[in-house]
Amino acid sequence: MTIKTTESGVKVRGGRSTREAILEAASRLIHVHGYNQTALDDVLRESGVGKGNFYYHFKSKEELGYAILDQIIASFLERTLEPCFADPEGRALAQIRCFFDRVLETQRERNCVGGCPLGNMALELSDVHEGFRARLASVFSAWRERLTLVLRRAQRGGEVSGECRPEAVADFLVASLEGAILLTKLTKDIVVMEQCVAEMKRYLSLFEPRT
């Protein structure tokens, strides 16, 4: 399917890009207003897609929700989490600190608005649909897994002391980041986020072997 332009300059979307237009509008709206507060009609108005058209491409609003969630998850893994830990030779603690900074940076870019897309959906939907909860739990679990692996590797290499229990530390780091983002959203003050990241780095330094 190709994208064409009529004489009036209005874009006529082919099949695949209609789906993309919906996803783009929906992910923007859902990020700002939340899933439940985002009416399907708003998504359609924003994306310029008709209702019948929407239901041709999606089975339901719930399916749209899953698609958005998958998109958020993929984007988080590819654009935020994995790049920091790409180098298997890099120093683990430095990579983790770099990851903190990256998360801090996203909050700054967003002016503390919107919070964490994953955390938001987690709180909003985990009670409602088991499917959402499971999917969200899996990404948090991938996140913790990544941190656990890098910590374990560092421990083997002697970069991190033996008293570090990688699973527990990973859980704690994920929780703290999510909490920091929540508190930042609430106070609308980036200083909170900065302080939390600074304290997380201080906490990490606990595991540096004594020189």
Partner DNA sequence: CTCTCTGTACCAACTGGTCAGTACAGATGA
Partner DNA sequence: TCATCTGTACTGACCAGTTGGTACAGAGAG
Regarding 27 and contact with a second copy (CB under 8 A), the answer is: no
SS (H, E, C) the chain: CCCEECCCCCEECCHHHHHHHHHHHHHHHHHHHCCCCCCHHHHHHHHCCCHHHHHHHCCCHHHHHHHHHHHHHHHHHHHHHHHHCCCCCCCHHHHHHHHHHHHHHHHHHCCCCCCCHHHHHHHHHCCCCHHHHHHHHHHHHHHHHHHHHHHHHHHHCCCCCCCCCHHHHHHHHHHHHHHHHHHHHHHCCHHHHHHHHHHHHHHHHCCCCCC
Among 49, 185, 190, 211, binds a second copy (CB under 8 A): 185
The stretch near a second copy (CB under 8 A) out of 18-26, 68-76, 98-106, 191-199 is: 191-199
Regarding 72 and contact with a second copy (CB under 8 A), the answer is: no
Regarding 167 and contact with a second copy (CB under 8 A), the answer is: yes
Binding site for DNA (CB under 7 A): 1-2, 4, 12-15, 18, 38-41, 48-53, 55-57, 60-62
Which is nearer to a second copy, 33 or 45 (by Cβ)? 33
Contact partner, 74, from a second copy, DNA, none, Cβ < 5-8 Å per class? none
Q: How far is the CB of 133 from a second copy (least distance, A)?
A: 7
